[in-house]
Amino acid sequence: MHLMVINGSPRVKKYSNTDKILTKFLEGYSAEGNTYESYEVSDIKSWDKIRNAYEANDNILIAIPLYVECIPGLLMEFLESVPRKNGGKMSFILQSGFAEGSQLRCGEEYLKILTGRLGLTYGGTLVKGNNFGIRLTEGKARESQTEPYKKMGAVFARDNDLFSDECKAFTGPEYFKPHIRFFVNIVFYTFGRLAFKMMARSWGCTKSLRYRPYGS
Ligand SMILES: Cc1cc2nc3c(=O)[nH]c(=O)nc-3n(C[C@H](O)[C@H](O)[C@H](O)COP(=O)(O)O)c2cc1C
């Protein structure tokens, strides 16, 4: 089975979490001989090439980071430029920063509508949050976040869709329990803040993160 893959993030490949997720997912997908070709929507100069591939393929996967509760504007702009298809399947990976599955459900519902409007059959969405930090980690820390996607790639290769119970379970908790939410808040406002400060400093930031150059 051949798959056309589009990374729908506006972030360039090198800095994109979606890219790291796709690398693992496609490792699992191609383990038994499936093939794929992949494209980046962030590379605007390649849009003609992506459009040609889009027209030529009928098994398409778009991997999307959640940007302000829905899909990134740049991807939307690209999809507005493709011709309506007459058949074929479109599946999705929808991933985000916040960890609760509920954060992504609105976007997921929209993808079902979008697929129909593009003239394709909906092949399901792999929904997963808690991915803020992938691009900020390396080695084992990154591996522990991305490796689970390899298995889901193999599941996709097996089913050619993302509707299985394994895919549903992959999302994790829909809502955190109150005591977990309390704990997450404590960690975020203590260690989290410290980590952001250190990260900003390592990127050359010399001002406080609360600095408001245009504030009164
Ligand atoms: C402008 C912007 C908006 C975002 N909006 C959301 C959001 O509404 N909900 C969420 O859970 N994560 C949000 N995120 C986090 C991204 O979904 C997350 O970091 C994702 O892994 C980024 O993937 P990428 O690096 O491939 O773009 C946002 C990130 C950015 C930069």
**Taking the domains of the chain in order of start, what are their residue ranges?**
2-170, 176-216
Q: What per-residue confidence (pLDDT) applies to 215?
A: 82
Residue nearest to atom 2 of ligand 1 (CA): 67
Give the per-residue pLDDT at 105: 97
Share of the chain above pLDDT 90, in %: 91
> b/e string for 167-193 if b means 16 or more Cβ within 10 A?
beebbeeeeeeeeeeeeeeeeeeeeee
Distance 65 CA to ligand 1 centre (A): 6
185-209, pLDDT tens digit by residue?
Answer: 999 899 989 998 999 999 999 999 9
Q: pLDDT tens digits, residue range 80-110?
A: 999 999 999 999 999 999 999 999 999 999 9
Note the pTM of the prediction, 2 decimals.
0.93
Q: Give backbone dihedrals phi and psi of 179, rounded to 5 degrees, phi first.
A: -70, -30
Say if ligand 1 is within 6 A of residue 7 CB.
Answer: no
Distance 67 CA to ligand 1 centre (A): 5
* Distance of alpha carbon 1 from alpha carbon 216, whole angstroms: 59
Verify whether ligand 1 is closer than 6 Å to residue 9 (CB atom): yes
Identify the pLDDT of residue 216.
67
Q: For residue 71, list its beta bridge partners.
A: none
2-170 CATH pick, 3.40.50.300, 3.40.50.360, 3.10.110.10, 3.30.70.3040: 3.40.50.360
**pLDDT of 30-48, one tens digit each?**
999 999 999 999 999 999 9
Q: What confidence score (pLDDT) does residue 80 get?
A: 96
Do residues 7 and 41 make contact, with C-beta atoms less than 8 angstroms apart? yes
| pLDDT tens string 126-167 | 999 999 989 989 999 999 999 999 999 999 999 999 999 999
Mean pLDDT for all residues in the chain: 96
